[in-house]
Amino acid sequence: MSSERPVISCKNIWKVFGDDPEGYLAKMPPDMSFDEMSEDGYIAGVKDVSLDVNKGEMLVIMGLSGSGKSTLVRCFSRLHDITSGTIEVAGQDIMSLAEKDLIELRRSKMGMVFQSFGLLPHRSVLENIAFPLEMRGQDKHTRRERALEVIKLVGLEGREDFFPRELSGGQQQRVGIARSLAIEPDIWFLDEPFSALDPLIRKEMQDEFLRLQQLLKKTIVFITHDFDEALRLADRIAIMKEGAIEQCDTPDKIVLKPATEYVRKFTEDVDKARVVRAGGLAEADQTGTGDPVDASQTVRKMARMLVDDTRDFIPVSRAGKPIGALSRAEALDVLLGDQ
Amino acid sequence: MVALSKKTAEAITCNRAAMLLLAVAVILTTLQYAAVLPAWLHRIPDAMVPPFAAWLDVVFNFVKDDLGLLKFTRFFTEGLENVLDTTGNIFFGKYRWPHLGPMPWTAVAGVAAVIGYSLGGWRLALLGGGTFVWTALIGQWNIAMETMSVLVVAAPLAFVIGLSFGIAAWKYAWVNKAIRPVLSVLQTLPFFTYLLPAVIFFKVGPTAGAMATIVYAIPPMILMTTLGLQKVPLEVIEAGKMAGCTRFQMLRHVYIPSARGDILVGVNQVIMLCLAMVVLTAFIGMPGLGAKLLAMMGSFKLGRSLEIGITIVLLAVTLDRMSKAWAVKQPVHFDKGTSWFCRHKTLVSALCVIVGFTLLSKVVPIAGTIERGQDFSQGKELDNFIKWLLAVDGVQSVTYGIRYVLNVWVLNPFRDFMLSIPTPAMIMMVVAFAVWLGGRRQGIIAAIFFGLIALSGWWDRSIITLYSVLAAVSIAMLLGIPLGIWASQSDKWSRRILIACDTAQTFPSFIYLIPAIMLFGITATAVVGSILIFAMVPLTRYTIEGLRTVPPEMTEAADMAGATRMQKLVNVQLPLALPTMAVGFNQAIMFAFFMVIIAAFIGTQDLGQELQRTLAGTDLGKNFVLGICVSLMALTFDVVIMKWATDKKHALGLA
Ligand SMILES: Nc1ncnc2c1ncn2[C@@H]1O[C@H](COP(=O)(O)OP(=O)(O)OP(=O)(O)O)[C@@H](O)[C@H]1O
Ligand SMILES: [Mg+2]
């Protein structure tokens, strides 16, 4: 994608919970399984993960409950100290950052939305949202202004002076989102940010989120349990199991070429025609003939054309430039679910 | 399975050891009765008692003089004295800076009502205002304000110190480790032990009283602060970190506000302990309600004592309810466009009340101070009435009868028996009890603690203390547990009795002497009586709580099995409630140790009286030895019973 250095780059990171994680990990044979570690009283929250997140990319992490999604994201923001491996964020090795620099990094670059919101109970909506700004030392007037702006963005006007316990779960979640938005972070961690929202607002927030992303091009790590949401938003999806990443790839690849049996099971019920795009099917060494289709078209959208057409290979172009051609038979397989 | 059988095996060896110890103890006692036991086995010979008191004195003197602690504390005293003078001026018109006081009683009552209203509506307003109106009308305004003027200094200081230690203990594991044992000793140390050092280091009078009060009130504040800070939800902390808080910002903006509830519960306890202690500091010459009560009880003026007692109780209930209301009060938002006056209506009305009543009192003097002779005190009449009532034949014969039966048939034989047991036998019995209930570790602790008591040279008096405690708690159990069981059978009555217990627990312990003295005069029975009432409260309370919190599916299972009410109670509810009841029993014992020392005032032969005697002199070493003896006995019970209760809870799957 981009040729710049990745914003987050981690190599072989481990996060082990237990009495003496470092000592245990050092002595442990390398191919120890998750269950074997559990028997020794240690939990592998994150297990040998290597991953890059590029600038402006949205990485979605999925996996069953307890698979280590939140733990991985906490390692990225150094809310957890990792047990071994290296993490670079914005070009700095965050494990070796001094406290002062870490605070500076968080203040200036990072935002996080928490799974169970993490609102300060004694502060009103407005004060909660202005909190990171206050910690940065912004003056009262500007931070109020900015907080009101984001409150409007998440649709909480009129509730500025409410306290968290006076809000519904969904409203609290939006306060959490607004709080992390207020500082306009470059790197944004979202741990199931829309889980407590009703479908309508959820859709609205997703749209708003996509619009913002087009505009601002943040680097985002997003956790969700909802595959549809992942497909709508993701540039890449990482699927985790027992602390390890099973596969990290574009949505097309995940559904078309699952790397493991686990990933295949995971994506079994997904309507592939809505996921797979022309770009994902395009074979670069083919050219095809006739009018090209745009790479961003899903197979579902092309359904009528695919059935009516007679060409074996249909050219695919991205932003007007040809990138290859897709095999119509293969596309039809996806459409009809024969894959 | 393996772990289980290992545990049972350990329990069996423990039981065997306990039986063995008990058997030896019985043999020793029998030998004693057969008069063949050598004297040195009955009591440790005086020659073998190490002079702990003298050693402690050496240490104290070193710290006091050579390390210059005395200079430091005397310096500190001056600062504290100035603050106390200021509040003294404001509250009761002490002739000191800032020469503004005394505040008119109407203003104080008005402010109490306003604060009460803002915290808990009309009921608290009535309680707050009413308490102070009563105090003024009954003619105790000045002494009550003397007490209050110390309280308003001691409580905030105890709060600040407790909070700081609490934060330190939460932040640094080693501080926590160092502080914990000190706290548990401090919490079981009899209050007399606090008084003498306070006098020596801080001069007699209000300053020493305030100091003793502060030290006494700190421990729960530390514990609650640590607890509250540990309970802050993880994600709230992480949100703070992600916002880029520095360490100080974390503490100031995230931890402390989030722990507000627990910290305020600590504040409530600080206030209540301060009140209890401020009253007790009468023993070292602190003027106020306590001193007056002490004097009145000493001269058997029961009517006046009763009036003062009511004032103290009202104050206690008011302070308790208000601080509890504050603890549970949650911030509520104001609607848009609310004016400044509405947002701060408590402050505004309090100021209005102060200014209004102060002006009024300039015109109508009686609104400022109620002079002698203008009050409504019925003390003399009450005195006479009570004396007359007690002298009525029927009443007299009943109280005399109770006294006679208790003394001659129960208490004295029990005491004499306890004293007749040889020291080693007694220690073995205690250890057997500890091993049987707790385990090996508890047994060792018991052995060390009681061994130390035996070496302290105060064995007989310690045993008398122990006897008073055990006698009173046993009788309290006979009364309190059935009451609890009965009350727990209906919602209405459990609620009522729980409220009564709650309220009774806020009373300063001194108060419990009044009814006991009223009924039994200044006698040993009165001592047992006052401990009995005091110890009954936790017993009843925890019995109700234990029985009411039995999981419903368990009682339902019993219902389905066709159990009668009695069967259900005996086979299901009581066994499940037992661990909770044990906690109540433990508290009853702790309360009893506390009360037995206060009751020394009536003139007992236990450690309390010796302790009280040390107050007259400068016997710091002896004072501490005596205090530690009480503390060691109380701690032994605490360690053993709490271990048993938690074990049992785990075994029953209730924890
Ligand atoms: N602080 C901790 N101490 C010990 N174990 C932990 C800790 N935090 C997480 N774990 C363990 O690590 C594993 C992964 O937890 P994590 O919260 O990352 O799961 P998750 O994928 O976010 O699940 P969910 O979808 O339910 O949020 C779990 O087994 C959990 O018990
Ligand atoms: Mg999670």
The ligand 1 atom nearest the CA atom of A63: 21
Q: Whose CA is nearest to atom 5 of ligand 1?
A: A17
Closest-CA residue, ligand 1 atom 4, reads A17
Q: Which domains does chain B have, with CATH numbers?
A: 104-137+310-374 (no CATH), 459-655 (1.10.3720.10)
CB-closest option in A106, A116, A176 to B244:
A106
Q: How many helices (H) and strands (E) does chain B have?
A: 31, 0
Closest residue on chain B to A132 (Cα): B243
**Interface with A, mutate which of B242, B249, B254, B333 (most A CBs under 10 A):** B242
Per the DSSP assignment, residues forming a β-bridge with A219 are A187
Distance from C-alpha of B21 to C-alpha of B427, rounded to nearest angstrom: 9
- Please name every residue paired with A14 in a beta bridge, in sequence order, or none if there are none: A84
pLDDT in tens, A52-87: 999 999 999 999 999 999 999 999 999 999 999 999
- Check if A180 has its Cβ closer than 6 Å to any atom of ligand 1: no
Cβ of A70 below 6 Å from ligand 1: yes
Question: What pLDDT score does B509 carry?
Answer: 84
Evaluate: CB of A63 within 6 angstroms of ligand 1: yes
Considering only alpha carbons, which residue of chain A is nearest residue B338?
A: A161
Whether the Cβ atoms of residue A313 and residue A328 lie closer than 8 Å to each other: yes
Q: Which of A17, A77, A122, A221 should one mutate to test binding to chain B, selecting the residue with the greatest count of B CBs within 10 A?
A: A122
Percent of chain B with pLDDT over 70: 98
Can you tell me the ipTM of this complex?
0.89
Under the banding of pLDDT at 50, 70 and 90, the label for residue B1 is very low
Check A163 against B253: CB less than 8 A apart. Answer: no
pLDDT > 90? residue B432: yes
**What is the H or E stretch that residue B627 is in?**
helix B620-651
Centre of ligand 2 from the C-alpha of residue A56, in Å: 23
Mean pLDDT of B291-315: 89
The whole-chain average pLDDT of chain B stands at 88
Beta-bridge mates of residue A13: A49
CA distance B576 to B560: 18
Alpha helices by DSSP H, chain A: 21-27, 34-39, 69-76, 99-109, 125-136, 140-153, 169-182, 199-216, 227-233, 251-256, 261-267, 272-275, 278-281, 303-308, 328-336
Q: Separation of A192 CA from ligand 2 center, angstroms?
A: 7
DSSP per-residue string spanning B573-613: IHHHHHHHHHHHHHHHHHHHHHHHHHGGGG--SSHHHHHHH
CA of A69 to the centre of ligand 1 (A): 8
A74 touches B: beta carbon within 8 Å = yes
pLDDT mean over B589-603:
85
Out of B243, B260, B334, the one facing A135 most closely (by C-beta) is: B243
B244, B246, B254 member nearest A120 (Cβ)? B254
Q: Is B253 within 8 Å of A120 when comparing Cβ atoms?
A: yes
Handedness of CA B248, B254, B255, B259 (dihedral sign): positive
Residue B506 in this model has a pLDDT that exceeds 90: no
A110 touching B (Cβ < 8 Å): yes
Write out pLDDT tens, residues B391-426. Answer: 888 888 888 888 888 888 888 899 899 999 999 999
Is A65's C-beta closer than 6 angstroms to any atom of ligand 1?
Answer: yes
Closest CA to ligand 1's atom 28? A66
A106 touches chain B (CB under 8 A): yes
Ligand 1 pocket member A85 (CB < 6 A):
no
Identify the residue whose tokens are 């008191």. Answer: B53
Domain A8-272 is of which CATH architecture? 3-Layer(aba) Sandwich (3.40)
In the structure encoding, which two tokens stand for residue B531, read together? 């401990």
Instruction: Centre a 10 Å sphere on the Cβ of residue B99 and count the other Cβ atoms it contains.
Output: 10
Residue of A nearest to B240 (CA): A132
CB contact under 8 A, A135 and B239: no
CA A224/CA A116 separation, integer angstroms: 13
pLDDT value at position A339? 53
Of B187, B319, B292, B318, residue with least CA distance to B514: B292
Q: Going residue by residue through chain A (339 aa), what tens digit of pLDDT does each one get?
A: 445 789 999 999 999 999 999 999 999 888 888 999 999 999 999 999 999 999 999 999 999 999 999 999 999 999 999 999 999 999 899 999 999 999 999 999 999 999 999 999 999 999 999 999 999 999 999 999 999 999 998 989 999 999 999 999 999 999 999 999 898 899 999 999 999 899 998 998 899 888 888 888 899 999 999 888 898 889 999 999 999 999 999 998 898 889 999 999 888 888 888 888 888 888 888 888 888 888 888 888 888 888 888 888 899 988 888 888 888 988 888 888 765
CA distance A113 to chain B (A): 8
The pLDDT score that the predictor gives to residue A1 is 45
Amino acid at B528: V
Q: How does DSSP classify residue A235?
A: S
Q: Say what the pLDDT of residue A48 is.
A: 93
Question: Tokens 């514990």 correspond to what residue?
Answer: B223
- pLDDT at residue B465 tops 60: yes
Of the listed ligands, the closest to the CA of A79 is: 1
Instruction: Tell whether ligand 1 has an atom less than 6 A from the beta carbon of residue A19.
Output: no
Instruction: Say if domain A273-336 classifies as CATH 3.40.50.300.
Output: no
Share of chain B above pLDDT 90, in %: 44
Confidence of residue B381 (pLDDT cuts 50, 70, 90): confident
Looking at residue A260, what DSSP letter applies?
Answer: S
Task: Tell me how far apart the alpha carbons of residues A315 and A295 are, in angstroms, rounded to a whole number.
Answer: 9
| Largest pairwise CA distance in chain B | 91
Rounded average pLDDT over B564-580: 87
A304 CB-side CA count, 13 A: 1
What span, in angstroms and rounded, lies between the C-alpha atoms of A54 and A41? 36
At CB < 8 Å, which residues of chain B contact A?
233, 235-236, 238-246, 249, 253-254, 257-258, 260, 330-334, 336
B6 confidence band (pLDDT: 50, 70, 90): low
Q: Which residues of B touch A181 (CB under 8 A)?
A: none
Our CA-based measurement puts residue A104 at a distance from the nearest CA of chain B, in whole angstroms, of: 7
Note the ligand closest to the C-alpha atom of B234: 1
Report chain A residues whose CB lies below 8 A from the CB of B243: 106-107, 131-132, 135, 179
pLDDT at residue B101 tops 80? no
Res. B5 pLDDT band, cuts 50 70 90: low
**Are A112 and B238 a contacting pair at CB < 8 A?**
yes
Residue pLDDT, tens place only, B121-144: 999 999 999 999 999 999 999 999
From ligand 1's centre to the CA of A94, what distance in Å?
21
Distance CA A253, CA B393 (A): 101
From chain B, pick out residues whose CB is under 8 angstroms from the CB of A94: none
Which pLDDT score is estimated for A338?
67
Check pocket membership of A297 for ligand 1, CB cut-off 6 A: no
Inter-residue contact A15 to A83 (CB < 8 Å): yes
Among candidates A104, A120, A165 on the partner chain, residue whose Cβ is nearest the Cβ of B236: A120
pLDDT at B3 over 60: no
Smallest-distance ligand from the CA of A68:
1
> Chain B interface, mutation test: which of A94, A103, A180, A223, most B Cβ atoms within 10 Å?
A103
pLDDT at B254: 96
Atom of ligand 1 nearest to the CA of A71: 18
CB of residue A45 inside a 6 A radius of ligand 1: yes
Q: Is the model more confident about B146 or about B613?
A: B146
Q: Which residues of A touch B236 (CB under 8 A)?
A: 118-121
Q: Which residues of A touch B254 (CB under 8 A)?
A: 120
Going from N- to C-terminal start, the domains of chain A cover 8-272, 273-336
